[in-house]
Every structure is written in C-alpha cells, then in structure tokens.
Amino acid sequence: MAGLFLLTINPFSKNVFIILKPMEKGPNILIAGAGPTGLTAAVELSRLGISPKIIDRKKEPSVLSRAVGIMPASLNILKPSGVTDHLVKEGVKMKFAQIFKGERLLVRIALEGGHPDWDYAIALPQDRTEKALIEALKRYGGSVEFGSELTGIRQDSEKVIVNINNGPDEEYDYVLGADGIHSAVRTQLGIEYPGIDLPETWSIADVDAVNWPYHDAGTICTLPDGNMAFVVALEENRYRVISNTEDALAALPLKLDVTTRHREGQFTISIRQVNEYQKGRVFLAGDAAHCHSPAGGRGMNLGIADAAEWARRTYENDFVGYSQSRHEAGAATIALSERLRKTMSSKSLITKLIITVLATTINLVPPLQRRMAKTFLDG
C-alpha cells in the first residue's frame, strides 16, 4: 500500500533492531487441521502479523488427552506468544526420569541441567495444550473455523485451489497440511507416506489414583517378554499409563491405587515419514508428515517444531530448505524414539543385561546422569 510504512522489530534477531518496511498485504494462507501443529502455525503466523485461515473438520475442540509431554524446545517456541506461561502454570513439572526392571528401581535421573533453559518437561493433556493455543490465537484476533473439512485440493504455479465441505473453489497463496496421520492434503496430492505398521496392540489408561510416589517423574517399567509400561502424571492424582500390551493397568508392575478409570483404549502404531514436506505451494507438518511410537514423548513436539519453522519461513518468504530441514529433524526424532522403544522392549537377555549394567553405572557417574537428562529433554 503506497505511502504506508510498518515499523517492525525482527522477532528472530537476538539484537533488537527496527525495520521500516512498506506495509503489504500478507500472503493468503490456509491451515488445514487445528491440532497442536496447525494451532502453533496459526499462533506463530498471527504473532508475526500474518492472519491465516485455520479450519478443522471437528465440530468443536477436542477433549482427548493424547500427547502429554511438552519438551523444552516446545516451551521455547511457545514462549513469545504467552502460551508457555499458561502450560507451565497448568501442567505438572516432570523433574525426573526413572527406569524400573519389574518392581526394582534401576535408575532415577534428575533432569536439572539437562537443558540450558529448562530443568524439566511439562506434562499436560493435549486438549488443554490445544485450549491454551486457541486462547492465544484469540488474543491475536484469530479463531478456528470448526466443522470445516478440506475436501478438495489442487494447485498450479500461482495458487492453491481448495474446497471446504465440498463447497466452491477457494484460492490461497499457500496451504499447510496439518491434518494429522490420515492427512487429506497428503493423500489428495499423491504424496507417499512410507514406513511400517507395528504388529502389536498397545493400550492406554487415564486414571485417578492416590499415593503414587513418583508424581514428578516419567516412569518406564521394563517387563519380561519384551513388554513395557510407562506412567506419567496428567494432573494432581491423575495418571496416564501406556503399555505395548493389551492392558496397560494389568501390565504395570508397580502399585497404583486407582480410584476412577476415566478412559481406557487400545491402539496400534505406525512408523512413517514422508520424503518431501513440500509439493509446490503446499506444505506438510506434524503427524501429516511423520508418526512414530509414544516412546520418548516426541510426536506432538516435533509437529510444534515443524509448524514454528514453517511460520518463520512464511514470514521471511523463504521456503527453500523447509523440506530438507524438517525431514532431517523428523528422521532424527524417529530414530531416537525407535532406539528407546526397541531397547526397552527387547527380549534379548544380553540387551536386558546391558540396560541393568548401564543403569547401575549411570547411578554412580554424575556426568552420565547429565548426559541422560540432556537426551531426555533435548533429544
């Protein structure tokens, strides 16, 4: 707009400096999917002065607890928008990570010093993380259009044409597919999602319980026959138990005094990643681009990181390298999660012996404890 200038501070520079730049109309952007990935992209774009349209096929916000662990990298990403303050206030501070062999504690690692900015990870049910993101989006004047499903997508070199709820053509400069593991954006553009589906059934239980002595710890129990169970706090006296068996509560070898069972279910796991996160003017992020087991609690965090990088690149109008950078980050996270899953669920007596010896050594050697804390918090 001729004659109008925008006074802005580069939000990515550590040295504060002011840029005087002509005020332009920002790109016309659609974000498909309002899970943690799409919401982070919408919040970050809005923070940078670009107002996207964000849609979700759900009628209303989710009430499912799904992802619990919020890692330091996500806390740093969501700090400038004020979301982190909310997450830290509402969530449980996970200050320890511990491994049991059956009922026997092998190692308890203090996470303090594992990350330069944070001595803990936050545990909070995913629906409450999404609520905090939706509230931040509102503060920037945005909102999610619920009940709006992306049903068609095609593109040429200048625009992306989208249909919502089988309605008329709508044109956008760029589209972000943050529409989860069964992404319509990905499938309609013919982008492959190579990988494997694990054969076993996993189980999950969200319960109220009393007298659990490890409220501020992420707890992993290795069991005979290559099975395992994880416990993490959701809030005061409420816990999530996950296992690679069909009954998480039955698999847990430690005493958990359950007073109420809120949600129990079973699920299967796929380990997949797209090769390309970009096709023309359309981009993928979050579970639409990668999925893996809950081991390490990284899935949601990886989506948040994808979204933040995509928003920054949109602001800077520089998408070169987005696909490669996110593919590398995704591959590293999947490798870490798979190492943990395979080690903890190994049936090999040698691997079990190595875990026991390593755990004993870690207990005795503080630098090794710090190294483990760094791996847990920082990847």
Ligand X SMILES: Cc1cc2nc3c(=O)[nH]c(=O)nc-3n(C[C@H](O)[C@H](O)[C@H](O)COP(=O)(O)OP(=O)(O)OC[C@H]3O[C@@H](n4cnc5c(N)ncnc54)[C@H](O)[C@@H]3O)c2cc1C
Which residues would be at the binding site for ligand X (CB under 6 A)?
Answer: 32-38, 55-58, 66-69, 126, 149-150, 178-180, 184, 204, 267, 286-287, 294, 297-301, 303
Measured from the CB atom, is 5 or 267 closer to ligand X?
267
CB of 68 to ligand X, least distance (A): 4
Q: Is 154 exposed, middle or buried (0-12, 13-18, 19+ CB in 10 A)?
A: middle
Q: Which residue is it, tokens 């982008």?
A: 191
* Beta strand 104-110 pairing with 96-101: antiparallel
CB of 234 to ligand X, least distance (A): 10
Measured from the CB atom, is 163 or 346 closer to ligand X?
163
Measured from the CB atom, is 114 or 296 closer to ligand X?
296
CB of 286 to ligand X, least distance (A): 2
CA angle 165, 40, 171 (to 5 degrees): 35
Helix ranges (H only) for 69-190 are: 72-77, 83-90, 126-139, 184-188
CB of 297 to ligand X, least distance (A): 4
Measured from the CB atom, is 279 or 370 closer to ligand X?
279
CB of 324 to ligand X, least distance (A): 20
Measured from the CB atom, is 36 or 379 closer to ligand X?
36
CB of 183 to ligand X, least distance (A): 7
The answer to whether the CB of 172 falls within 8 A of the CB of 162 is yes
Measured from the CB atom, is 370 or 374 closer to ligand X?
374
DSSP state of 288: G
Helix ranges (H only) for the chain are: 36-47, 72-77, 83-90, 126-139, 184-188, 248-251, 299-316, 322-344, 349-364, 366-378
d(CA 245, CA 253): 13
Q: Which residue is it, tokens 């296992």?
A: 243
DSSP three-state, residue 307: helix
CB of 130 to ligand X, least distance (A): 8
Measured from the CB atom, is 150 or 359 closer to ligand X?
150
The answer to whether the CB of 258 falls within 8 A of the CB of 241 is no
